[in-house]
């Protein structure tokens, strides 16, 4: 949903609080679509900070359907986000273009998703001791063992494989 910033940028000392729906349905996650579920409205606080200046803070939470990094089972991962921004956005390199601001139009979904991409986990697990899939036959080892000869020399190997897989998916 887009909101109009004209009033907050022009009326000195104005503070506004509002709740708007979060409309995004999915995000890209390592080349895959991850559905957004159990959404909450976005609580916004808008604060005028002088002529054509404003501070905007948001707060929301939702679930992201990701896949377990070991067994690929869907896992609902809870995101709690509190994005904030100053407009105009000044950084060391000068004034920064924000993808979700166009003129006086402010894209609330874009604002939340920008922060979401920063906070995304590298890897999620359905449970800390997920046994993963058999590397030979692909059986989900949480549901029972198979008859393959897959000698794992050290339980720490699963950790190393997680890191290896996470890095591999990033390329």
Q: Name every residue whose Cβ is closer than 8 Å to that of residue 16 and which is 6 or more positions away in sequence.
A: 7, 8, 44, 45, 46, 47
94 versus 144: smaller Cβ distance to Zn ion: 144
Q: Are strands 101-102 and 105-107 parallel, antiparallel or unpaired?
A: antiparallel
Residue 133 in the binding site for Zn ion (CB under 5 A): no
With CB under 5 A as the contact rule, the residue among 27, 98, 134, 161 that binds Zn ion is 134
User: Under rule CB under 5 A, how many of the chain's residues touch Zn ion?
Assistant: 12
For residues 42-71, which are near Zn ion according to CB under 5 A? 68, 70-71
Question: Does 126 sit near Zn ion (CB under 5 A)?
Answer: yes
79 binds Zn ion (CB under 5 A): no
- Tell me which DSSP letter residue 118 carries: H
Cβ contact 85:56 at 8 Å? yes
Place of tokens 């407009």: 87
**Residue of 137, 152, 157, 160 that binds Zn ion (CB under 5 A):** 137
Q: Give 21-30's long-range contacts (Cβ < 8 A, gap of 24+).
A: 22/60, 22/62, 22/108, 22/109, 22/112, 23/109, 24/109, 24/112, 24/113, 27/64, 27/113, 27/116, 27/117, 27/120, 29/64, 29/66, 29/120, 30/169, 30/170
Q: Which residue, 24 or 124, is less far from Zn ion as judged by CB?
A: 124
- Among the candidate windows 26-34, 80-88, 142-150, 152-160, which touches Zn ion by CB under 5 A? 142-150
User: Cβ of residue 147: shortest distance to Zn ion, in angstroms?
Assistant: 7
| Nearest distance, CB of residue 34 and Zn ion, angstroms | 16
* From candidates 28, 80, 86, 136, binder to Zn ion by CB under 5 A: 136
Footprint of Zn ion (CB under 5 A): 68, 70-71, 73, 126, 130, 134, 136-137, 139, 146, 148
């Amino acid at each position: 949903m887009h909101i109009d910033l004209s009033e907050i940028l022009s009326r000195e000392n104005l503070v506004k609080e509002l709740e708007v729906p979060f409309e995004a349905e999915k995000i890209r996650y390592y080349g895959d679509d991850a559905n957004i579920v159990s959404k909450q409205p976005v609580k916004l606080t808008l604060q005028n900070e002088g002529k054509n200046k404003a501070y905007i803070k948001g707060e929301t939470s939702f679930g992201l359907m990701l896949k377990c990094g070991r067994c690929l089972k869907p896992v609902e991962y809870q995101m709690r986000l509190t994005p904030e921004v100053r407009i105009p956005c000044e950084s060391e390199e000068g004034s920064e273009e924000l993808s979700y601001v166009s003129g006086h139009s402010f894209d609330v979904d874009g604002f939340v998703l920008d922060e979401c991409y920063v906070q995304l986990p590298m890897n999620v697990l359905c449970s800390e001791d997920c046994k993963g899939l058999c590397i030979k036959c692909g059986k989900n080892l949480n549901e029972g063992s198979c008859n393959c000869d897959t000698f794992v020399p050290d339980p720490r190997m699963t950790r190393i494989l997680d890191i290896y897989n996470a890095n591999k998916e990033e390329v």
